Amino acid sequence: MKHKISPSLLAANFANLADDIEMINRSEADWLHLDIMDGVFVPNISFGFPVIKAISKICKKPLDVHLMIVNPEKFIPAVKATGAKIMNVHYEACPHLHRVIQQIREAGMEPAVTINPSTPVFLLKDIIKEVYLVLIMSVNPGFGGQKFIEHSVEKVKELRMLIDETGSKALIEVDGGVNMKTAPLLLEAGADVLVAGNAIFSTPSPEETIHQMKTL
């Protein structure tokens, strides 16, 4: 399977989102990655449901919603109402992760779990067969434009082994500091989906950069 690219809207021009979403529609991007922050789980606040709803009206690509919030289970209906394809919750924010994953699936979305840089891959052993996707954070969540944590490549390899051993069909997504240098290492290690914010939106032609990342 060819890897997927999920550009992170956090690095787009918030004063002119429609232009950036039209660019995403024209581009080879597979999904659009949306980062929701609550100022509690992470030390930053981004945007919320009214913004996602407005985006979903004009975006033709499936929405990959990454919730960096406490108690994400409270917002399953709100995420569903935006038309999102994937609802991504943090392992560290869910003491009852198995239940949350079932609820996301019952609501008609693809359930995904995200792990922070300090959370080991082996903790996913008992949930790996239940999820559509695992997102490995390769920076500490909360901000775009941070430096890639090299150890993330090892985590992708470990996760690939866990998926293969268990017969899980989960996709491996990586988020944070992904660029034209780090992307090949991640793909080589077994990543299926690359999230990139600054490495796409801060280039002269984001559409061309998406094409280049897609052809790696």
Q: Summarize as ranges the residues that interact with ligand DX5 (CB under 6 A).
A: 8, 10-11, 33, 35, 66, 139, 141-146, 175-178, 195-199
**Between residues 35 and 121, which has the closer beta carbon with respect to ligand DX5?**
35
Which residue of 3, 4, 61, 66 would you call a contact of Zn ion, by CB under 5 A?
66
CB atoms within 10 A of CB 168: 18
User: With binding defined as CB under 5 A, does residue 64 bind Zn ion?
Assistant: no
- Segment 162-181, which members bind Zn ion (CB under 5 A)? 175
Say if residues 3 and 195 touch (Cβ distance below 8 Å). Answer: no
**Between residues 111 and 141, which has the closer beta carbon with respect to ligand DX5?**
141
Structure tokens at 107: 């609501």
User: With binding defined as CB under 5 A, does residue 92 bind Zn ion?
Assistant: no
Q: Least distance (Å) from ligand DX5 to the CB of residue 166?
A: 26
Nearest to 49 by CA among 60, 61, 38: 38
Compute the Cα dihedral for 150, 212, 193, 82 and give only its sign: positive
DSSP class per residue in 91-128: GGG-TTHHHHHHHHHHTTSEEEEEE-TTS-GGGGTTTG
**Between residues 78 and 161, which has the closer beta carbon with respect to Zn ion?**
78
Residue with tokens 């198995």: 98
Q: Please say if 38 is a catalytic residue.
A: no
203 backbone dihedrals φ, ψ, rounded to 5°: -95, 160
- Which residue among 20, 35, 38, 64 is the active-site one? 35
**Between residues 166 and 212, which has the closer beta carbon with respect to ligand DX5?**
212
Stretch that binds Zn ion, among 12-20, 30-38, 72-80, 201-209 (CB under 5 A): 30-38
Q: Please say if 35 is a catalytic residue.
A: yes
Say if residues 84 and 66 touch (Cβ distance below 8 Å). Answer: no
Residue nearest ligand DX5 by beta-carbon distance: 197
Which residue of 35, 38, 64, 192 would you call a contact of Zn ion, by CB under 5 A?
35
Task: Write out the catalytic residue numbers.
Answer: 35, 175
